Amino acid sequence: MQAANDLSELIKEAISSNCIKFYEYKNFYNVEKIGKSNSRKIYRTNLKNSEQYFTLKSFDFDDITIKEIIHEFKLHHKIVHRNIIQFFGITDKENENDQLEKYLLVTEYVGDITLQNYLKENYENLTWENKYKLAYQLVCTISYLHDKEIVHCVLNSSNILVYKNNIKLIDFGLSKRIKEASNQHSDLVGMIPYIDPKKFVSIKPYSSNKKSDVYSIGVLLWELSSGQSPFKDEMYDANLATQISQGYREKIVPNTPINYSNLYTGKY
């Protein structure tokens, strides 16, 4: 693990090379804590001379996390898409009593309602036109990333937000890469229904690719049609992973338009 001074230098270098924009923390006001994500604190705030909301998010102050965050910002320099959360920069809270919050990410504010929760709360009122709209946004956004040779890797209904009835992708596997780079156990268990089945049967380490994202989209299209998490009554464990690798899938929801179900079953 690098010393704090060295880590600060990594961030300063990224700022000086225009990889990351720096914001003075004193210019933020109305800072309001709105939640947590993987124990990281999340705030909603305004910036001086602007009525626009921003999100501030704390992160682990270590060399692995910082390098991955810099990598994420470099990716965002390549992309501009209304359904992908914007990374604006970083701010220094200068809180000596809380090293965890020494630096905070500054991103676009898109609320904190995941697609999973959005469906739970709104499904009964969603028309097929509403579902088509969300599905279309999701597919177009991933297609855009693939055209840029970017693979998302961890698509699921918990890391996609819905803000003002629009899809918002919030990262490109940043949390997963941090865990893998630091040799932590990547939490694949909760993602089993969305994971490319080839990952379960591959003898060699299997790297996610564009087809992996397409598989995940198929599961998400089913979720949009049902309003439920896939295999919600089953344990997300090795047994389920084995069944999925052998072709086990959720059944088509009754009254689903055939052209829609053909998309996620591959019958088009």
Going from the C-alpha of 252 to that of each of 155, 223, 230, the distances in angstroms are 21, 10, 11
Topology alike, domains 4-108 and 115-265:
no
Residue spans of the domains in the chain: they are 4-108, 115-265
pLDDT digits (tens, 9 = 90+) for 9-57: 777 777 777 778 889 999 999 999 987 666 578 899 999 988 889 999 8
* Fold type of domain 115-265: Transferase(Phosphotransferase); domain 1 (1.10.510)
Top-level CATH class of 4-108? alpha beta
pLDDT digits (tens, 9 = 90+) for 63-122: 777 777 777 777 777 788 999 998 898 898 765 455 445 788 899 999 989 999 999 999
